[in-house]
Structure 1
Amino acid sequence: MTVGPATFKQLHLQGVRREFDAFTALKGLDLTIERGEFIALLGPSGCGKTTALNCIAGLLPVSGGRIMLDDRRVDVLRPEERGFGMVFQNYALFPHMTVRKNIGFGLRMRGVPKPELEKRVDAALAAVRLESQAGKLPGQLSGGQQQRVAIARAIVVEPPLVLMDEPLSNLDAKLRLEMRQEIRRIHQSLGSTTIYVTHDQEEALSLADRIVVLRDGAIRQVGTPAELYALPAHLDVADFMGFRNRVNGELVGMEGEDALLDIEGTVIRGRMRAASSGRAAVAAIRPDDLEPTGTDSGIPVRVEAVEYRGRGFHGVGVTASGTELHFASPYPLQRGAAVRLGADAGRVLVFGDAR
């Protein structure tokens, strides 16, 4: 017996583990997802995000813990009994079937009467804006259109959850941007619940209500896009959220909420995000927030490269110790020039003990 269409209030992952022989891919995930949320599982390759999705879908059994839909345990059910919608990277469309038949395949397997099937397929075609392509074969469609067919096939069965595993990774940059907007529009118009796997922080930021950052099979941080963008709790999360510059320094004091960090003889200010048990600490700064100061303050670097990027310039500088820093500049700089780089204290995050 299947779970039924969109009737749940919460999905609970309770201590979910997944082991492959001696390797533990998931280390006791605890997470609650509310009905209607768009959740992004974000992290680098091998962090466990696709494994987590496959465990929720039933494509992999859990090694420990439980997956609950409200008070119903679903990790003991077969994938088809869970009734979740799944969108893969490779679309997995039947090449010999028309768009309409691909979308209606799951309904036919469920024995849905033809009048109801046609009505729901029409609604799904309208949701993904493919009414005019209904009679075509997948090979006659663009990559973005094929992905829309895959999404329509997932939502037409009215699943309680839609699970997406890096669905845009095979598309070019322009199509990815268009499909991001389309996926968000479909999610909002249907009021569905979506769990979306990605390694792209821009995708996660633009799509998700909440982002779950994973590393080495464990959850590192859960929060809204704004929370994770501005205040990552760990250095590895900061690195993944675009804080590309990581500079080692020595913690020399605090002034109010500002940490004072000595970097190669220059003291900079930043927000303390993780307490230090000693004096060693790391400053994390986004390239867009680090700019030439035009004064005697800031971290001294030698300019190694400068690229024009439309509204401004992107530079790479090297400190006396060899640390490479990426920065923004409103004006061009000559290679080999000596400049000092600085950022507002609120844009500099300081992590003690390099964690």
Structure 2
Amino acid sequence: MAIASADFRELRLDRMSRNFGAHNALKEISLTVQRGEFIALLGPSGCGKSTALNCLAGLLSLSEGAIWLDDKRIDTLKSEQRGFGMVFQNYALFPHMDVRRNVGFGLQMQGVSKAETERRVDEALNVVRLTTQGAKLPGQLSGGQQQRVAIARAIAVEPPLVLMDEPLSNLDAKLRLEMRAEIRRIHRLLGSATIYVTHDQDEALSLADRIVVLRDGEVRQIGTPQDLYRRPLHSDVAEFMGFRNALAGKVVRREAGEVEVDCGFAGPLRGQPVDLAGDGPVTVAIRPSDLVPMSDGALDAEVTGMEYRGEAYFGTATGPAGQEMFFRSETPLGVGEAVRLGVPADRTLVYASGGEQ
């Protein structure tokens, strides 16, 4: 029977760490999650996202630190005692059990009565809109329906926390968009907390109340989707949040709230300083969608490729010193064509090289 309570105020990670031999997979992760919050753990492969989720679920023990649910320490509890719901990347459904038995499996393991199990299975299937599919086997369902069954199984135990490990990665693009909306709807309906692992920035931005960006087992930034999208605190976070252009340069002029940077082009770039403690080399970060052809653009370049993406053309170009750039254009440009690219100063971020703050 679960010991952790579904009626809670906050989950607190206190310097949560996990080592695999000499490798520090998680390094003192501290985070407080409020009831009702949707938290996305975002980062590239190998950054520690799934390790953090498995530590929360009780599938991995901590090397150091603690996990608290209100005033109860729970990292010392077994996985089944924590009472959390878990949705895996591969669904992890039992192929020989029908939908109802899959959804009720966790309740059965907890020793919940048959009548109560039936009630909760009915409620969970209603939440995920699968009330007519209860007698089917997983193999008779679509990928999106199987994912809904996995979610129903996770929420049937009435958990204080739902943990999701890249649950949409096996779905096609259309289903991913549909399931994003469903996951957010279910989260709001339940009122519990959700921690969601993803490497997809669009998923994190569309789903989360707050995003935790991880790199090499460490927290690099915690903030709202708006914070992360508009003003990443480090150049590596900026790169992961879509600032694909990273131009090396040197500050040549400073003025109130803005700097001018020489990146080896005909003219300097103006941008917003984010982390400029000294006078060393800097990295200028720009999103491809913000870099566009302009008659008075500061970046002189030669087009090296173009592709059509429906709403616009996106191209690659090379600067006079071999700088690679990614840009957006309303019209196609020919390979080898000269172009001048420009970007508004308020959409250009400037970091000390290395991005450390």
Q: TM-score range by the shorter chain?
A: over 0.9
Correspondence for 1:47: 47
Correspondence for 2:333: 333
Q: What is the alpha-carbon distance in structure 2 between the residues aligned to residue 3 and residue 281 of structure 1?
A: 52
Per-residue deviation, residues 270-292 of structure 1 (Å, max 9, x unmatched): 11111142231110000000001
Deviation at 1:185, TM superposition (A): 0.7
Q: What is the alpha-carbon distance in structure 2 between the residues aligned to residue 3 and residue 33 of structure 1?
A: 19
Q: What is the alpha-carbon distance in structure 2 between the residues aligned to residue 151 and residue 254 of structure 1?
A: 52
Kept in 1: contact 2:2–2:110 (CA 8 A): no
Correspondence for 1:294: 295
Give the secondary structure class of the aligned counterpart of 2:132: helix
Aligned 1:257-336 pairs, distance under 5 A: 257-265=257-265, 266-295=267-296, 297-336=297-336
Kept in 2: contact 1:5–1:158 (CA 8 A): no
Specify every segment of 5 or more residues in structure 1 that has no aligned partner in the other structure, as ranges. Answer: none
Per-residue deviation, residues 174-229 of structure 1 (Å, max 9, x unmatched): 11111111101100111121000000000000000000000011000000000000
Kept in 1: contact 2:4–2:81 (CA 8 A): no
Q: Residue 152 of structure 1 aligns to which amino acid in structure 2? A: A
Q: Residue 229 of structure 1 aligns to which amino acid in structure 2? A: Y
Give the secondary structure class of the aligned counterpart of 1:325: strand
Q: Does 1:184 align with 2:184?
A: yes
Specify every segment of 5 or more residues in structure 2 that has no aligned partner in the other structure, as ranges. Answer: none
Q: Residue 337 of structure 2 aligns to which amino acid in structure 1? A: A
Per-residue deviation, residues 138-173 of structure 1 (Å, max 9, x unmatched): 000011100100000000000110000111111111
Kept in 1: contact 2:259–2:271 (CA 8 A): yes
Kept in 2: contact 1:278–1:353 (CA 8 A): no
Q: Does 1:80 align with 2:80?
A: yes
More deviation, 263-272/35-44: 263-272
Q: What is the alpha-carbon distance in structure 2 between the residues aligned to residue 311 and residue 240 of structure 1?
A: 23
Q: What is the alpha-carbon distance in structure 1 between the residues aligned to residue 114 and residue 82 of structure 2?
A: 23
Q: Residue 349 of structure 1 aligns to which amino acid in structure 2? A: L
Q: Residue 175 of structure 2 aligns to which amino acid in structure 1? A: L
Kept in 1: contact 2:46–2:216 (CA 8 A): yes
Aligned length: 354
Aligned 1:63-102 pairs, distance under 5 A: 63-102=63-102
Q: Residue 107 of structure 1 aligns to which amino acid in structure 2? A: L
Deviation at 1:70, TM superposition (A): 0.8
Correspondence for 1:342: 342
Correspondence for 2:26: 26
Deviation at 1:5, TM superposition (A): 4.2
Q: What is the alpha-carbon distance in structure 2 between the residues aligned to residue 106 and residue 352 of structure 1?
A: 50
Give the secondary structure class of the aligned counterpart of 1:131: coil
> TM-score, normalization: structure 2?
0.97
Correspondence for 2:227: 227
Give the secondary structure class of the aligned counterpart of 1:179: helix
Deviation at 1:113, TM superposition (A): 1.9
Deviation at 1:324, TM superposition (A): 1.1
Q: Residue 289 of structure 1 aligns to which amino acid in structure 2? A: D
Kept in 2: contact 1:276–1:351 (CA 8 A): no
Aligned 1:96-135 pairs, distance under 5 A: 96-135=96-135
Kept in 2: contact 1:276–1:353 (CA 8 A): no
Kept in 1: contact 2:201–2:241 (CA 8 A): yes
Task: Percent identity, please.
Answer: 60
Q: What is the alpha-carbon distance in structure 2 between the residues aligned to residue 329 and residue 353 of structure 1?
A: 29
What is the root-mean-square deviation of aligned Cα atoms in Å?
A: 1.1
Kept in 2: contact 1:272–1:349 (CA 8 A): yes
Per-residue deviation, residues 100-154 of structure 1 (Å, max 9, x unmatched): 1110111122222222211111110011011111110000001110010000000
Kept in 1: contact 2:306–2:313 (CA 8 A): yes
Per-residue deviation, residues 263-313 of structure 1 (Å, max 9, x unmatched): 114211111111142231110000000001122x31011001111222221
Q: What is the alpha-carbon distance in structure 2 between the residues aligned to residue 227 and residue 273 of structure 1?
A: 13
Q: What is the alpha-carbon distance in structure 2 between the residues aligned to residue 73 and residue 62 of structure 1?
A: 13
Q: Does 1:157 align with 2:130?
A: no
Give the secondary structure class of the aligned counterpart of 2:202: helix
Correspondence for 1:197: 197
Deviation at 1:233, TM superposition (A): 0.2
Aligned 1:218-257 pairs, distance under 5 A: 218-257=218-257
Give the secondary structure class of the aligned counterpart of 2:116: helix
More deviation, 196-205/260-269: 260-269
Kept in 1: contact 2:4–2:69 (CA 8 A): no
Q: What is the alpha-carbon distance in structure 2 between the residues aligned to residue 2 and residue 107 of structure 1?
A: 10
Q: What is the alpha-carbon distance in structure 2 between the residues aligned to residue 95 and residue 325 of structure 1?
A: 48
Q: What is the alpha-carbon distance in structure 2 between the residues aligned to residue 140 and residue 128 of structure 1?
A: 17
Give the secondary structure class of the aligned counterpart of 2:219: strand
Per-residue deviation, residues 287-342 of structure 1 (Å, max 9, x unmatched): 000001122x3101100111122222111110111111010011111111111111
Kept in 2: contact 1:252–1:279 (CA 8 A): no
Kept in 2: contact 1:37–1:209 (CA 8 A): yes
Q: Residue 61 of structure 1 aligns to which amino acid in structure 2? A: S
Q: What is the alpha-carbon distance in structure 2 between the residues aligned to residue 93 and residue 279 of structure 1?
A: 54
Q: What is the alpha-carbon distance in structure 1 between the residues aligned to residue 254 and residue 3 of structure 2?
A: 55
